[in-house]
């Protein structure tokens, strides 16, 4: 049976973020899978509201940084300041010392500031002046990114893209949802959002997700799907081994949300585009033919046999 608390979390977020049930489910899966989320969309479609709502229902200490060209690494990581009364330096925590960091428009800031996130996203720690400081547990980054080519943006390097468990897109709201937004109904409901899971309950769910059973044939299936991106004429660059790990974590999380203690091939297939989309690069042939990355990844299903488990 599905965990009723996870159903309640989805229902609470869906009351605010209307018509985006699939995105809400994938964000929740990434959170209980312990990974970071990249949201790629034009400004103004509700990405910040999505992050704020999840922070409230999951009892997460939440901070938001608007990434502009003048944001410095020290704004994120922290710095030491001399305390004249004590006669010593004191460390001032940066924005990353929280449970949920919203890195808004991450591709508008400098590469130096972008790279400052690499250690904290992967290691969940900050190393400054010879001292390593652990971040709160859990620590999750939801980064928003304007589409490539937008004014004042620059592409994220592959090394940073690979740190994100999934890349998602909300898209425009439906007509009725847009009308409700104009009427102010969303903002009234957001003010009434209350915690559903405590921090300890979320940590417990994350541990249980790691214990979801995976049949050997599904390990083979996931690795085969990732390997197929490396010898496929549609891709100039295939996915890294980290992609297979991300595929496993998201598949387990989808099974947990569905109330199962084992994953299926459908769990893997349902998150394949979200996990691989930002980790591969289309070939010149695919680009010339107008092939979208989503379509190219979908074609992997035709070349890798799905396991049948009795």
* Residue extents of the structural domains in the chain: 1-209, 211-310
Phi, psi of 194 (to 5 degrees): -125, 160
CA distance 135 to 30: 18
Locate 198 and state its tokens. Answer: 């405590």
| Mean model confidence pLDDT for the chain | 88
User: Edge-to-edge strands of the sheet including 140-145?
Assistant: 62-66, 100-104, 140-145, 36-40, 164-168
The pLDDT profile of the chain, 310 residues, written as one tens digit per residue, is 567 899 999 999 998 888 899 999 999 999 999 999 999 887 777 888 899 999 999 999 999 999 988 888 899 998 888 777 777 778 888 899 999 999 998 888 888 888 888 778 988 999 887 788 899 999 999 998 877 655 556 777 788 889 999 999 988 878 887 787 777 666 667 777 889 999 999 999 999 999 999 999 999 999 999 999 998 899 999 999 999 999 999 999 999 999 999 999 999 999 999 999 999 999 998 899 888 999 999 888 888 888 876 5
Topology adopted by domain 1-209: Rossmann fold (3.40.50)
Locate 229 and state its tokens. Answer: 């991106």
Q: Do 211-310 and 1-209 fall under one CATH topology?
A: no
Locate 80 and state its tokens. Answer: 């030491």
Task: Identify which of 168, 205, 173 has the alpha carbon closest to the alpha carbon of residue 26.
Answer: 168
CATH architecture entry for 211-310: Orthogonal Bundle (1.10)
Dihedral (C-alpha) 176, 180, 183, 188: value to the nearest 10 degrees?
170
- The pLDDT assigned to 96 comes to 94
């Amino acid at each position: 049976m599905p965990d009723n608390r996870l159903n309640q979390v989805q229902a609470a977020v869906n009351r605010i973020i209307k018509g985006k049930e699939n995105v809400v489910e994938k964000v929740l899966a990434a959170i209980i899978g312990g990974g970071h989320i990249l949201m790629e969309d034009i400004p103004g479609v509700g990405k910040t509201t999505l992050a704020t709502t999840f922070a409230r229902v999951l009892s997460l200490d939440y901070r938001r940084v608007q990434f502009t060209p003048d944001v410095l690494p020290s704004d994120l990581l922290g710095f030491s300041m001399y305390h004249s009364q004590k006669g010593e330096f004191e460390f001032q925590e940066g924005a990353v010392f929280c449970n949920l960091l919203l890195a808004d428009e991450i591709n508008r800031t400098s590469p130096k500031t972008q790279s400052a996130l690499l250690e904290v996203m992967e290691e969940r720690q900050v190393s400054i002046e010879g001292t390593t400081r652990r971040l709160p547990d859990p620590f999750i980054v939801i980064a928003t990114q304007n589409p490539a080519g937008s004014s004042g943006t620059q592409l994220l390097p592959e090394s940073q893209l690979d740190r994100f468990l999934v890349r998602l897109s909300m898209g425009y709201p439906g007509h009725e949802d847009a009308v409700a937004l104009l009427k102010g109904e969303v903002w009234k409901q957001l003010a009434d959002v209350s915690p559903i899971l405590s921090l300890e309950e979320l940590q417990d769910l994350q541990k249980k997700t790691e214990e979801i059973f995976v049949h050997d044939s599904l390990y083979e299936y996931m690795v085969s799907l990732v390997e197929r991106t490396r010898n496929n004429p549609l891709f100039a660059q295939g996915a890294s081994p980290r992609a297979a790990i991300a595929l496993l974590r998201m598949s387990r999380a989808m099974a947990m949300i569905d109330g199962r203690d084992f994953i299926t091939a459908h769990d893997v297939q349902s998150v394949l585009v979200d996990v691989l989309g930002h980790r591969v690069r289309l070939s010149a042939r695919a680009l010339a033919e107008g092939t979208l990355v989503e379509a190219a990844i979908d074609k992997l299903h035709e070349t890798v046999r799905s396991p049948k488990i009795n």
